[in-house]
Structure 1
Amino acid sequence: MNETCSLSDNQDLFVVAIDFGTSYTGYAYSQRDDFEKDPLRIMGMRIGSTNNHVLAKEPTSVLLTPSDKFYAFGKSAEDIYAEKYSSGETGWRLFKYFKMNLYNTENKKTNREMMIEDCKGVPMPAMEVFRMLLRHLKETFARQLEESMNGISDDFIRWVITVPAIWDDSAKQFMREAAEKPGMKKSKIILALEPECAAMYCGTKSLQLRPTLQRGVQQFIGPGSRYMYVLLDIGGGTIDITAHEVNKDFLYDELFAANGGPWGGDNVNSAFYEYLCKIFTKEKFLQFCQNSPDGLNDLEIDFERKKRIFGGKKDVDNKYIVIKLPYSLFKDFPLETPRDLAVIENDKLKIPVNHMQAFFETTLNKISTHIREKMRNKELENINKVIMVGGFSIANIVKDHLKSIFPGDTKFLCPDNSEIATLLGAVIYGQTQIHKLSPQKRECSKQTIITPMINSRRSRYSYGIDSHICFNPKKHPINKKFKDGMEEFCKDVFWVLLKAGSILHPTLKGRMSTFTIDKTAKTLDVDIYRTESPNPKIIDEPECYKLGTLVVDMSEDVGTKNREIQTGLQYNDTELSVFAINNDRMIKATFDALSTV
């Protein structure tokens, strides 16, 4: 958890953003001086073995040697793995789509010991895989930077790592620790929320359009407007949704806590695979996936291409969507397959359009239900603008479906570079964090374009501690009643420190006084709970669980009984932080959301 991270220094020369996606990952960067002149002067990472530095991302695939050493990342990792496997070297390990393991549902909490599986189902500590990929990206950037200038130390680099808005605090802490392990300095790491980054890119981009286009775009995201912004992560595991009001100074105020769910494009891929299992049987298809990694790669690429363009008039008029099948799969095509399920012609699988539509149906319905629920919020009554970014939003069927959810007068914006809007916005977000901390320098800087900034957020959760209060039979469950002497109390009361939906700003701190009974105690341990309910009553209510333990250092006052300590929580930008006060002075406090206890 981020207890000491400070952005007070302003010596950073570079901002490097890593967009760590479910399906695709990449980095981009900019120099501080360039940002002041042109905020969109952003450079990309080197792809493959060429000298091309492009604004793009690579598949989130990590290849390890048989001895579990990092070997390759991206498309090359997939290709090398397929080559090794076909030549009989089966000890190599490929990890794909592993980011979604950090998404917590049904009170599942991320922890340091969690395991993830490679493509063959063999487990490995998740922290190791995340660490190795982040180290590779860090070292790749260092080599790229050395080609143009020497002697730039880590002290002059600010790292921005994107995280979905729907991640909880334990997943955020996991990502931060994974970044610190390969040498990214704790005070130089910023975690940025994906939909906010995309919003900042769109806002910045609008200011660099020619006047005739600028006026139209700024009706969406210019000062004084209100808009609903929808992000569908590329190929992704998630969709993040947020809404902002933009004031005259181009500051963004969040209207409700950013949220969403695991309804990204990978669910469509899963539906396609289930369809293939129905045709070939599950056993044969899984054998194909394991024994023909090169064929599986080709199948995924072709389907991804068809998925993104599906839904236009041409597809509606056609009866089939055609997918090329690898030989190792189409040779086993069952001849008795009904034609209304699939048709085979040579190595081409012809999928009836109604089945292709069905691949999207469940995912789009979940997105629709969630958006409609959020649009009931009174804060959103007058919003009629929607921005869509991310690879999954490119699909025609997705665009058309989303447009059907909103009222007929809703305006939609799909910006250029929507697939990398989050990546580009993360660079801008990091630069604004640097520049906003030095108002005097910002005033006299050469920056000619005012960039948007996040002014306030809303808390997604209520945070609190376990307490007890006087028992009230009208309010409290009878099974929580206990006696202390002659008085009756209610135990397990959720004492709220930060309330779900509250506006988060640097001065908002939730605090409570507590006492140490044991005068020999060197620490004070306080359990922290969280829930999405704005008005929790008891700590064991449904959807409420222990997030972690706040540990206060009491070593200086050992021997004193009933020591009063003020403990509390606050949000520093996107991360939860803790504090403790003893006799009007701050004392050391730590918080661990990754403990398995």
Structure 2
Amino acid sequence: MASVPIVASALKTRLLVAAIDFGTTFSGYAYSFLSDFKTDPLKIHTQNWTTGSHSAHGMSLKTSTCVLFNEKREFHSFGFEAEDVYTALAVEDQHHEWYYFKQFKMYLYQNKDLRRETVLYDDKGNTMPAIEVFAAGIGYLKDKVIESISKRQTEITPNDIHWVLTVPAIWDDSAKQFMREAAVYAGIDTNHLSLALEPEAASLFCKYLPVEKIIGVDGAPKIASFAPGKKYLVLDAGGGTVDITVHETQEDGTVREIYKANGGPWGGVTIDEAFLKLLDDIAGRDTMEVFMNEYKEDHLSLVRDFELKKKTFGPELGDSKIQFRMPINIHVAYSVVNGQDFRQSFMMNQDLKGDVTFTGDKLRVKPKQVLDLFQTTCVEIINHLKDILSKPEVAGVEAILMVGGFSESNMLQHYVKSSFPNLFVIIPEEAGLAVLKGAVIFGHNPNAIISRRCKLTYGVKMYRTFEPGVHPPSKKVMRGGEAKCQGCFDVHVTTNEEVVLGQIFETHSYCPIVASAKAVGVKIYTSTKAKPLYVDEPECTFLGEIDVDLSHIRDNFKDKKILVHMKYGGTELGVEAKVVKTGEILKTTLNCLG
């Protein structure tokens, strides 16, 4: 799918911008009216969510990313409601024919062969098309926005709304296209939709915050970090991924990216996984499997409790053991699996004796074991930050801006501050909402990010005239009576190259191989190398194909020469082709999903 260019002038006529942050662990929405944005860009409406009937913790700024479908695969509920309904069904042993999906966004990052037909597996191994699951969640949040707007008795119509969907900056083009198509499947007009890169959105939000809302870890205001000419690194630590970009503020208040977006799968869920691994070590994997499957209500409560508690853990845990609630049904599950009492058996475990104890229904562990839950993930993040900050392109960076839900973790904040004592470490008051609110600001002002860095090299597969001694003999083929080298990588844009918003790269020309061709398929490849020679090199990946219709051009094949240029600088790749002889702009579709 070719990207749809959205320009600021078109947005001026839209009366409202609504953003959907579809996260790995939590999701939410926000919106603002154009009239409010002009007077106060931070007047953004968000939703407070009730955490569910099985939790006593009240309200949350986002809801859980869970989707529930009934036995007929019809959408039933989303978020905390889906968790509670499914748990209630499980208590009555009526959940087996239902479809329950949770924390599935990471699949788009991990799957390097994404297709429209890709399926997701629920907690019982049942499958549904991934695009239907994503679309159900997006559609639910879209409907909640419209419902919220209607309660304000405004006269806003769907055509007045511009939608913004957040995506990690480290995602590839196929994942971005998948999310756009899922949003369209959910009923959002593609012409009224933009994708916002998550760390960019957070950066825009923080630029608007007053001094008292931008506080360094040492307690001192750091608003000067966003003054013109300042360079700062954005660390967007979410549930699934950590997204990192480096920005420089310009004199006119716009932002340019000075180092390509990067990151990895080091989000907050890795801490949850480490905690569950600790419980596996204590009770046994088989016991925890029974507990999770047979006592879903207790398991949900356990996970929710830890989600809240993990943000409070810091480096100074003292000498006293840390306490967690241990549902009694873990003991029951242990007895079912092992045929003996859990507490007595545990007391005989020499590997854990002294490190882990029980008091009533409370599990108590030594502080070191809590620190160990965070160590692997935090060290990965710090090592990656050190690598980036060693690059000559980012010399002069003065601050690290921490946003995203995982950035609210005291432990992660400690690791970052202690590892970079010479940099300001900034955590906005609403770190978990920075991306969501920033996406609304981006929707009103998409030209605020004036340049970006290409993550990859982009090019086209083509034939070149075969040159003995230059091209490998294995790639020599005869086409039209001429010796050609097949599979050459024709570079259009190079990795880490700075691209100004809307910039059109040098146009490249291509001809069909045969005179009778009624169409030409331009195959686009990416590479992590700056100057790949052939598309079959290990660093190269097929991205997608542009199908150009030439059936209405009846001249010889040389008159069917086409010009192809790429437009990169927005959040999505744009491609355009035209016929050289006529100057006609041809309909093109870049399909990254097979």
Q: TM-score, normalised by structure 2?
A: 0.90
Specify the code of the residue in structure 2 equivalent to 1:405. Answer: S
Q: 1:388 to 1:473 in 2, by over 3 A?
A: farther
Distance 1:387 1:153, change over 3 A: same
Task: Indicate how the Cα distance of structure 1 residues 11 and 49 shifts in structure 2: closer, same or farther if over 3 A, else same.
Answer: farther
* CA distance in structure 1 between the aligned counterparts of 2:60 and 2:277, rounded to whole angstroms: 34
Q: Which residue of 1 aligns with 2:43?
A: 41
Classify the secondary structure of the residue corresponding to 2:530: coil
Alpha-carbon distance in 1 for matches of 2:510, 2:214: 59
Deviations 1:450-490 (A, max 9, x none): xxx21110111111111243556776555435567998654
Amino acid at match of 2:425: F
Letter in 2 for 1:428: I
2:577–2:585 CA contact under 8 A, matched in 1: yes
Correspondence 1:522 to 2:518? yes
Indicate the residue corresponding to 1:170 in structure 2: 174
Deviation at 1:330, TM superposition (A): 3.4
For the residue of structure 2 that corresponds to 1:516, the secondary structure is coil
The 8 Å contact of residues 51 and 63 in structure 2, kept in 1 or not, is answered as no
- The one-character-per-residue Cα deviations of 1:506-527 (angstroms, maximum 9, x if unpaired) are 1332432111244443321111
RMSD across aligned positions (CA): 2.5
Match of 1:589 in 2: 588
Are residues 32 and 475 of structure 1, via their aligned partners in 2, closer, same or farther at CA, if it must alter by over 3 Å? Answer: same
In the TM superposition, residue 152 of structure 1 has moved relative to its aligned partner by: 2.5
Are the structure 2 counterparts of residues 177 and 458 from structure 1 closer, same or farther at C-alpha, using a change threshold of 3 Å? Answer: same
Is the CA contact (8 Å cut-off) linking 1:207 and 1:214 kept in structure 2? no
> Using the alignment, how far apart are the partners of 2:537 and 2:569 within structure 1?
28
Are 1:29 and 2:31 an aligned pair? Answer: yes
Aligned residue number for residue 146 of structure 2: 142
Does 1:402 pair with 2:435?
Answer: no
Is the contact between residue 206 and residue 214 of structure 2 (CA under 8 Å) also seen in structure 1?
no
2:370 to 351, 356, 375: 356
Shift in alpha-carbon separation, 1:290–1:216, aligned structure 2, 3 A: same
Counterpart in 2 of 1:299? 302
Instruction: Tell me the residue number matched to 1:264.
Output: 267
Counterparts of 1:221 and 1:326 in 2: how far apart (Å)? 47
Query: Following TM superposition, by how much is the alpha carbon of 1:403 offset from its aligned partner in structure 2, in angstroms?
Result: 2.1
Q: Identify the residue that residue 561 of structure 2 maps to in structure 1.
A: 564
AA aligned to 1:429 is: F
Counterpart residue identity of residue 98, structure 2: W
Structure 1 residues 279, 46: closer, same or farther in 2, change over 3 A? closer
- What is the DSSP-based 3-state SS (H/G/I as helix, E as strand, rest coil) of the residue aligned with 1:557? coil
Counterparts in 2 of 1:70 and 1:318: CA distance versus 1, 3 Å? farther
**Match runs of 1:233-244 below 5 Å:** 233=238, 236-244=239-247
Do 2:480 and 2:514's aligned partners in 1 also have CA atoms closer than 8 Å? no
Alignment CA distance shift 1:206-1:556 (3 Å): farther
Aligned position for 1:448: none
Q: Deviations over 1:295-346 (max 9, x none)?
A: 1111111212221111242x1x134221101221134334233324522222
Distance 2:292 2:515 in 1: 62
The residue correspondences of 1:331-350 to structure 2 (distance < 5 A) are 331=332, 332=334, 333=342, 334-335=345-346, 336-337=348-349, 338-350=352-364
Aligned to 1:70: 75
Superimposed CA distance per residue, residues 529-565 of structure 1 (whole angstroms, 9 cap, x where no aligned partner): 0122222222112231111111112132145433111
The one-letter amino acid of 1:164's match is P
- The Cα offsets for residues 193-225 of structure 1, whole Å up to 9 and x where unpaired, read as 0000100011011478799x9994332112221
Q: Distance in 2 between matches of 1:49 and 1:545?
A: 42
One-letter amino acid matched to 1:371:
L
| Equivalent pair of 1:461/1:500 in contact (CA under 8 Å) | yes
In 2, the alpha carbon distance for the partners of 1:578 and 1:385 equals 36
**Contact 2:480–2:513 at 8 Å: present in 1 too?**
no
Alpha-carbon distance, 1:240 to partner? 0.5
Q: What is the aligned partner in structure 1 of residue 430 from structure 2?
A: 417
- Aligned partner of 1:546: which letter? F
- Name the CA distance, whole Å, in 1 between partners of 2:131 and 2:214: 46
8 Å CA contact 2:17–2:34 kept in 1: the answer is yes
Aligned to 2:251: 248
Cα distance in structure 2, aligned partners of 1:95 and 1:487: 55
Aligned equivalent of 2:503: 507
Q: Which amino acid aligns with 1:14?
A: L
Question: In the alignment, which residue of structure 2 is the partner of 1:127?
Answer: 131
Q: State the partner residue of 2:55.
A: none
When residues 214 and 564 of structure 1 are mapped into structure 2, their CA distance, relative to the original with a 3 A threshold, is farther
Partner of 2:18: 16
- Identify if the C-alpha distance between structure 1 residues 525 and 371 changes in structure 2 by more than 3 Å, giving closer, same or farther: same
- Counterparts of 1:301 and 1:474, CA distance in 2: 65
What's the % identity of the aligned pairs?
34
Deviation, structure 1 residue 153: 2.0
Q: Give the residue type in structure 2 aligned to 1:553.
A: D
Matching residue's letter, 1:417: E
Count of aligned pairs: 566
